[in-house]
Structure 1
């Protein structure tokens, strides 16, 4: 995002708002949560956060207020004055468009807006061909309650016979994953942009060694805006170099369209292609049989209001492998809810997946064709550390992002090997360096 220069045109308006929100006591975020529609209280909170230099909290508060009071042009002008200081050109132009369409627009305000818009266009044209680069340095800690998917019964079929797991089989385990990613994004035109990054990560396992690997990745994304459509094309390549398993090369291509019915309702559709190639060698002499490709399509509906987002999605896909016992058809239903707070984004999702395999796996149970159902519940919270209430006075925490997540997977199958439950707990931090 490009930063825009500060503008002093609205000094009188700012003075007016500063007087409205002036008081002796400081407003806490908890008071705002209890009174989210109180205009005077929220303006006082925004002014106090501005004085502290917490402009992201100011932007978040004003964004919410302008959605609650869309006809208040003075509020939009205050929002614009803050956006001019610290926000992106795209966001600022959007606010200007809202002011331009306001019934309270006066000739004087319109003339001032035209000057600001011209300055923004000059700034955008001067930087149109500039790449915006970044480096992300991350560390995550992940705890699995059943990392090797051990069955609920503690037994499994192998060549039509039931067997027990080894006494030293690992169930609970943790992963430590440091990673670095270098990338950039560029505006190609008024309605398109491109994103590119390459990454490297190293997975270390505490007890077992089955998941240890280093991962090399490349990601490319192009977005194109046309009328009410946002068309997004993605390509990625991942090379997973396992220390105790066969290496895997994964290529993914996706095409997604988001159609805006209006500002609150969206239709989503897309197609996706994934190809996995296993590295067969003397140690892993038959792993080539697992080579596969997966083709899927999805359709969904998204509803956004205030700081809330609901998503309903359906996916249908099919995987084809060299050995038919690894091929399957898949149906997946997903429901998710997101809530945006000043301190971060909360997400809850629930998905139901059914995988129906093509033929029986004679190495497992030759009399039964595998059929799995997976019930997955996920909860996550992510945001920037500086937006947490007790850290917002320290600029050191700017551009450091946190991620907390929890997932529970309940797998039910007609073959006892694949009846299992597991939980995945994750905490991660990412430091972003922009250049």
Structure 2
């Protein structure tokens, strides 16, 4: 056993001495090609690639026309990801006339692989830099947001004009039922109504997924020919919104005080609960519940107004199909049912409304076409109108609308160049225009009519 250990020690020592001698021999005779290549092979086997590259670079400098040396150095450079060295060697090898077409093809493949890797590396670096910039901006924004108030306040100032072909809903036959008889029906048809309004709103951001919005507003309407639609209106509304991963929930309350100048004032209260469920990015389902009351201010000039007081409940279900990049197109289906009760039963009714709409996001704004049908069945006859006919109305309405901001219109026309200040102001100046046509068929003559309406409005929003 002792002899075996001594023999093993002597063998190990002899190997180390041999390696050291080989290195010393290189130092003594650096131009010996065979000796240097042997040393390079030994160092490659040991994984000492720096020594291999140094030796081969010295040999290629001594023997610049030796293509085999350059190919050997190229293989080592590829292993060590020395991109610049590889590209230099490839260029030298490709310029040589002493290599075969097969070698040229393999070198060209190495060149393509290196270029692809370099491009991928540059893309990765660019993506990393972009990610760092975004993260820094998000960090700055979150820091600023943490210092800012959770409240956002705004002011809306608006103007709207409505052009009516039959503002008074005069029947097509110009007749009506009254006290059991058929009599002439008169009234104003073509007319226009202008409305100015202002609204003050506030939004409180509770957290990243919920907020509360409040608003109070007032409006005043003037009619050109008639007077029935002239009124002053005050409104209040509040909404709580909560956003989940798949659901968007909102609860709203609104109060409206309508002071019709030549009729009784009315007060309306409405409460609604709505939810939107997003199955995925293309399919959404909507549902909602509503409760409401409508009461009139009965007085000596309006002695029967109380009989028109109503309270109602109802629900809505719908489906949205979103198509195209960024939900550019939307197809919506909706059904709404409301059950209205009244002090006088001839004012109570069931209303079924079906609608389908298509919306497209264009460079100028949102274009929408809607078709709806409504079936209204009243509970009992109004004996003052007809003792034999119970009122029933079936209506069909086509509506085409366009809404957006004036800033969108300007941006859609590259030939128009405006100062940034003006462009920013136009971004918060929104427009809304629509045209609708309604055909109403009723069991009573006075409710058989057609009408068209065109609306155009502008609203300026100011944040403060």
- Contact 1:173–1:208 (Cα < 8 Å) also in 2: yes
1:416 aligned onto 2:445: yes
Q: In proportion to residue count, which structure has more helix?
A: 2
Shift of 1:175: 0.3
Q: How does 1:267-306 map to 2 (within 5 A)?
A: 267-306=285-324
Task: State the aligned residue count.
Answer: 330
Shift of 1:295: 1.0
The aligned counterpart of 1:130 is 150
Distance in 2, Cα, partners of 1:305 & 1:104 = 35
The aligned counterpart of 1:261 is 279
Distance in 2, Cα, partners of 1:271 & 1:322 = 23
Q: How does 1:25-424 map to 2 (within 5 A)?
A: 109-127=130-148, 129-166=149-186, 169-306=187-324, 307-389=328-410, 393=418, 395=422, 397-424=426-453
Shift of 1:433: 1.2
Shift of 1:317: 1.5
The aligned counterpart of 2:76 is none
Distance in 2, Cα, partners of 1:377 & 1:408 = 5
Alpha-carbon spacing, 1:331–1:138, altered in 2? closer, same or farther (3 Å): same
Q: Which runs of 5+ in 1 are unaligned?
A: 1-102
Alpha-carbon spacing, 1:112–1:402, altered in 2? closer, same or farther (3 Å): closer
Specify the structure having the higher radius of gyration (Cα): 2
Q: CA offsets per residue over residues 40-81 of structure 1, 9 Å max, x none?
A: xxxxxxxxxxxxxxxxxxxxxxxxxxxxxxxxxxxxxxxxxx
Alpha-carbon spacing, 1:366–1:193, altered in 2? closer, same or farther (3 Å): same
* SS of alignment partner, residue 117 of structure 1: helix
* SS of alignment partner, residue 142 of structure 1: strand
* SS of alignment partner, residue 198 of structure 1: strand
* SS of alignment partner, residue 268 of structure 1: strand
Alpha-carbon spacing, 1:359–1:124, altered in 2? closer, same or farther (3 Å): same
Distance in 2, Cα, partners of 1:309 & 1:175 = 32
- Contact 1:386–1:393 (Cα < 8 Å) also in 2: no
- Of residues 117-126 and 402-411 in structure 1, the stretch that sits farther from structure 2 once superposed is 117-126
* SS of alignment partner, residue 187 of structure 1: strand
* SS of alignment partner, residue 307 of structure 2: helix
- Contact 1:386–1:392 (Cα < 8 Å) also in 2: no
Higher RCO (Cα < 8 Å, 6 or more apart): 1
Shift of 1:351: 0.6
RMSD across aligned C-alpha pairs, in angstroms?
1.8
Distance in 2, Cα, partners of 1:248 & 1:197 = 20
- Contact 2:370–2:400 (Cα < 8 Å) also in 1: yes
Distance in 2, Cα, partners of 1:173 & 1:216 = 24
Shift of 1:254: 0.8
Distance in 1, Cα, partners of 2:271 & 2:126 = 46
Shift of 1:111: 4.5
Shift of 1:371: 1.1
Distance in 2, Cα, partners of 1:251 & 1:104 = 59
Distance in 2, Cα, partners of 1:351 & 1:114 = 48
* SS of alignment partner, residue 435 of structure 2: strand
Distance in 1, Cα, partners of 2:417 & 2:156 = 21
Shift of 1:108: 5.1
Shift of 1:106: 5.4
Shift of 1:321: 0.4
- Contact 2:171–2:185 (Cα < 8 Å) also in 1: no
Shift of 1:399: 1.8
So what's the TM-score if we normalise by structure 2? 0.68
